Amino acid sequence: MAILITGGCGYIGSHTCIELLDAGHDIVVLDNYYNSKPEALRRVKELSGKEFPFYECDIRDAEGLRKIFAAHSIEAVIHFAGLKAVGESVQKPLEYFDNNVGGTITLLEVMREAGCKRMVFSSSATVYGMNNPSPLKETMPTGGVTNPYGRTKFMIEGILEDLCVSDPEWTAVLLRYFNPIGAHASGRIGEDPNGIPNNLMPYISQVAIGKLQKLSVFGNDYDTHDGTGVRDYIHVVDLAKGHVKAVEYAMKHPGAEAINLGTGTGYSVLDLVNAFQNVNGVPVPYVIAPRRAGDIATCYADPSKAKELLNWTAELDVNDMCRDTWRWQKQNPNGF
Ligand code: NAD
Ligand code: WQD
């Protein structure tokens, strides 16, 4: 029996492959390389010392998926594959709905045909929308998302919940990630964004290495301790370990369950910049810029449900996140 990892060549997927292999699971990986490179999985094999089957396949390709399910006995799917750039999703909504929502429906149909009814899904704290106060709890209303990317996550959560109501054999664990950053402690795998990064941490590390001149801090007039936006940054290796716990939980508990994966602690933009500078001894020049449209002041998790159901809590702190990001950046200045 094996676990199928869609999008397993990407940032979170590649780290999760390592943790699954370390925990003794057999994996099968698929990716269409839209936002990743084969080198990532070569390094996963190098770090884990294990081999596993890989398929270059799109989740919208039902025939391609059928071949994978025919060739392997898949007991659960961890579904990372998707497009994730918020700004791009505003420009290309149809592409986002087709890839993320359409692709997930095709994948679920093929899973059902194959009798595999367990999915761990990469959702996002973005489903909490703009109006819930932090700490965010799974019982709070979702929706009110402000962009097509976020709407795809909200829609897929709903599809999975409806599927679990329609057939009690289905299991769906909806993992709502907060802000994943950091890299594997080896410095061999990490986040490899295309072009100029949209997210804070890859931007900081590219400023630190001199690829970008300075960081723009989007707003310093929020109602937070220093005026800059507060987020729940979580180390990608902790997040990956959360997936191992979640898929093991999914083997035993049918039904749909939404679970936050965050640390429960919020750091501001300037907290992160200062931590990065202090831990790594490198300057990160910045300027204060206007607020970015669609941003909220504060977003952090109540992570108690993950502790209760999965016996999972984040173990790495913001200094680990900064140190590991910098090691990856320095060792791989041009990514993979
Ligand atoms: P990523 O882009 O590094 O990984 C996604 C992978 O999916 C890539 O390797 C890409 O090539 C692949 N892919 C995309 N569309 C595909 C398709 N149609 N068929 C097959 N493969 C496809 O992104 P990530 O940061 O590792 O994110 C993984 C998942 O977690 C995504 O669903 C993302 O939306 C979600 N998520 C990410 C964050 C974050 O901040 N990184 C936060 C919350 C949720
Ligand atoms: C963090 C903070 C910015 C860049 C996004 C998605 C979310 C999830 C994670 C997928 C904010 C500030 C940023 C910069 C800055 N992804 N910032 N200068 O917006 O919390 O979440 O990624 O699901 O859905 O929306 O993350 O890293 O972009 O921003 O000042 O150059 O850093 O304003 O306060 P965000 P982020």
User: Over the stretch 17-67, which tens digit does the pLDDT of each residue have?
Assistant: 999 999 999 999 999 999 999 999 999 999 999 999 999 999 999 999 999
Residue 271: other Cβ atoms inside 10 A: 18
CA angle at 95 for the pair 66 and 177, rounded to the nearest 5°: 80
- DSSP secondary structure, 11-71, as one string: HHHHHHHHHHHHTT--EEEEE--SS--HHHHHHHHHHHT----EEE--TT-HHHHHHHHHH
Low-confidence residues of the chain: pLDDT under 70:
none
Ligand 1 centroid to Cα of residue 82, in Å, is 4
214: part of which helix (H) or strand (E)?
Answer: none
Give the pLDDT of residue 204: 98
**Protein residue closest via CA to atom 30 of ligand 2:** 217
- DSSP secondary structure, 228-257, as one string: S-EE-EEEHHHHHHHHHHHHHHHHH--EEE
Ligand 1 centroid to Cα of residue 118, in Å, is 19
CB 198 near ligand 2, within 6 Å:
yes
Ligand 1 residue neighbourhood (C-beta within 6 Å): 6-7, 9-13, 31-36, 58-60, 80-84, 99, 103, 122, 124, 177, 180
Name 224's Cβ contacts closer than 8 Å, sequence gap at least 6. 230, 268, 297, 298
Residues annotated as catalytic are 149
Name 100's Cβ contacts closer than 8 Å, sequence gap at least 6. 82, 83, 149, 152, 153, 156
137: part of which helix (H) or strand (E)?
Answer: none
Tokens of 304: 């108690």
Give the pLDDT of residue 268: 98
Give the pLDDT of residue 146: 87
CB 204 near ligand 2, within 6 Å:
no
pTM value > 0.85: yes
Give the residues across from 247 on adjacent strands.
none
On whether the CB atoms of residues 26 and 71 are closer than 8 A, the answer is no
CB 323 near ligand 2, within 6 Å:
no
The alpha carbons of the chain give a radius of gyration, in whole angstroms, of 19
Residue type, 8: G
Give the pLDDT of residue 38: 98
